[in-house]
Structure 1
Amino acid sequence: MSRAELAKANFLKGYACAQAVLLAFSDVTGLDEGTAMKISLPFGGGMGRLRLTCGTVSGAVAVLGMVLAGPGVDPANKRLVYGAVQEFSRRFTAANGSVICGDLLKAAGLATDTNAVPEARSAEYYKKRPCPDLVYSAADILENCLKEAGLL
């Protein structure tokens, strides 16, 4: 199973979008499942259902930070990490139209409700939402970025 398939399967099991992506790369980040789930849960729904940065993007950015960021405040390392984040974001936007959760939902003809109550997960939920495909896309793009950098 590819990391993209694993991430999508995680989402379809009920994980938040950010969790689904981060967990698919747990072998690379070194995070145990419990820690990864706690760190990434708030980023689901575009940061707590505020529909801001897509949770799949936040999960991928967390992986990039865990893999690339060094200790301290080295400006060269910041440039490396920021450059990787920008390249991932460029590719995600090219593939999906935006990195903003609300924009992605609107493009799918869905409401962008921002209340804190997550929608119940059901077959209908998964059928109408772009999220499973966005989770797959984010993990696939991230895996390609890491491979190109020689990190996978």
Structure 2
Amino acid sequence: MTIEERVKLAEEKHHSGYNCAQAVLCSYSDKLGIDEETLFRLSEGFGAGMADMQGTCGAATGMYMIAGALGSSGAIEKGMTKGRTYQTVKGLTAAFDEKNGSHICKELKGIETGKVLRSCDGCIEDAVRIAERLFS
């Protein structure tokens, strides 16, 4: 699947009712080797800025979940991978912020300022494009 096809898939998922986190994360089900239903269920509480609290953008959290799925050892006994995953997430956040001016939902949507920095579709597109780097 090309990046353009993956972006379109994520946007279609969002338009069909997936929240932003679900749209990003579920569009990578094939590459993560995790069934879409599981990813959908795990990311359900992360839309609209963390459960509709307008905090961290759902599209960004979907991207962070991809980083965790790829970077985690999967068990405490296998070694501590948290530090490396945290660094990866910080890098993803920096890339997202550079592109959009923020990773905070209410700022992106212009809720307090009236100035929209990026639409949800735009955030989803950016998160998919940035997350794609994790697979190279």
Asked if Structure 1 and Structure 2 have the same fold, meaning a TM-score greater than 0.5 normalized by the shorter chain, the answer is: yes
1:82 aligns with 2:86: yes
Q: Which residue of 1 aligns with 2:48?
A: 45
Percent of aligned pairs with the same residue? 33
Runs (4 or more) in structure 1 with deviation over 6 Å come to none
Q: Which residue of 2 aligns with 1:133?
A: 122
Matches within 5 A, 1:1-152: 1-73=4-76, 74-75=79-80, 77-106=81-110, 109=114, 130-147=119-136
User: Could you state the TM-score of these two structures normalised by the residue count of structure 1?
Assistant: 0.77
Q: How many residue pairs get matched?
A: 129
**Structure 1 residues 48 and 65 mapped into 2: Cα distance closer, same or farther (>3 Å)?**
same
Residue 140 of structure 1 and its aligned partner are, at CA, apart by: 0.6
Does the 8 Å CA contact 1:18/1:55 hold for their aligned counterparts?
yes
Deviations 1:20-69 (A, max 9, x none): 00011111222212111111111000111100110001111111111111
**Structure 1 residues 37 and 110 mapped into 2: Cα distance closer, same or farther (>3 Å)?**
farther
Residue 110 of structure 1 and its aligned partner are, at CA, apart by: 7.0
Does the 8 Å CA contact 1:28/1:67 hold for their aligned counterparts?
no
Deviations 1:54-101 (A, max 9, x none): 0001111111111111033434x2222111111110000000111110
1:104 maps to a residue whose letter is L
1:48 maps to a residue whose letter is A
In structure 1, stretches of 5+ residues that fail to align are 112-128, 148-152
Rounded Cα–Cα distance in structure 2 between residues aligned with 1:71 and 1:46: 26
In structure 2, stretches of 5+ residues that fail to align are none
Does the 8 Å CA contact 1:4/1:138 hold for their aligned counterparts?
no
Task: Tell me the C-alpha RMSD between the 2 structures.
Answer: 2.0
User: Could you state the TM-score of these two structures normalised by the residue count of structure 2?
Assistant: 0.85
